[in-house]
Amino acid sequence: MSSPAPAGKAPAGAGRPGGSVSGKDVRLAAETWESLFRSQVAVMRRLQAGPAFKKLPVNEYDVLFTLARCPTGKLRLNEINDHVLLSQSSLSRLVDRLEKRGLVERSTAPEDGRGILLGLTEAGLELQKDIGREHVRDIAELLLPALTAAEQQELMRLTEKLRAKLPD
């Protein structure tokens, strides 16, 4: 909140070079978000129903996945929290559960005594890869018949751009 503009009431046309925002623009944005949201829900519902997530809830898998894809293999809890749609406290307890199951390990962060570094254990990596294989198959089964490769490329490009241009 260091912007000079009044919080929560950005001037119309913010971010558009000299343009003003029409009702049409606003409606298009709302419809686009609605569509993005619904398709995400629809795909997620089907993925969750698959057998891959009987072993581990989606949110918990997502943490394992995030750690597995990270180059260093370890992440701070607050970094993970940015990735996941969960409150800080929920993530803390989710990590408790993963730790109790021996899938991850907490370690204190060097250079910051407050921070906690989270890393996968051998078992955690194993389980992630196991679920991951099945998960990827399920995804492909849903997306391949629906969109061409070019369309998938474009969808990826647009969602990446959207995410990159979000504030903060």
Partner DNA sequence: CCAAACTAGATGCATTTGCATCTATCGCAC
Partner DNA sequence: GTGCGATAGATGCAAATGCATCTAGTTTGG
List interacting residues with a second copy (CB under 8 A): 8, 10, 13-16, 21, 25-33, 35-46, 50-51, 83-85, 136-137, 139-147, 149, 151-156, 158-167
Our separate counts of H helices and E strands in the chain read 6, 3
Closest by CA to 139, choosing from 37, 58, 35, is: 58
Residue 102 binding: pick among a second copy, DNA, none (C-beta 5-8 Å cut-off by kind)? none
Residue 14 binding: pick among DNA, a second copy, none (C-beta 5-8 Å cut-off by kind)? a second copy
SS3 for 72-114, per residue? Answer: CCEEEHHHHHHHCCCCHHHHHHHHHHHHHCCCEEEEECCCCCC
29 three-class SS: helix
Torsion of CA 152, 156, 158, 159, to 10 degrees: 130
Binding site for DNA (CB under 7 A): 57, 59, 76-78, 81, 85-90, 92-97, 106, 109, 111-116
Residue closer to DNA (CB basis): 86 or 155:
86
Q: In whole angstroms, what is the distance from residue 153 CA to residue 19 CA?
A: 29
Residue closer to a second copy (CB basis): 27 or 97:
27
Residue closer to DNA (CB basis): 55 or 93:
93
Residue 123 binding: pick among DNA, a second copy, none (C-beta 5-8 Å cut-off by kind)? none
Distances (CA, A) of 10 to 17, 25, 92, 161, 168: 14, 16, 34, 21, 15
Residue 93 binding: pick among DNA, a second copy, none (C-beta 5-8 Å cut-off by kind)? DNA
Residue closer to DNA (CB basis): 59 or 121:
59
Residue closer to a second copy (CB basis): 85 or 114:
85
Q: How far is the CB of 102 from a second copy (least distance, A)?
A: 26
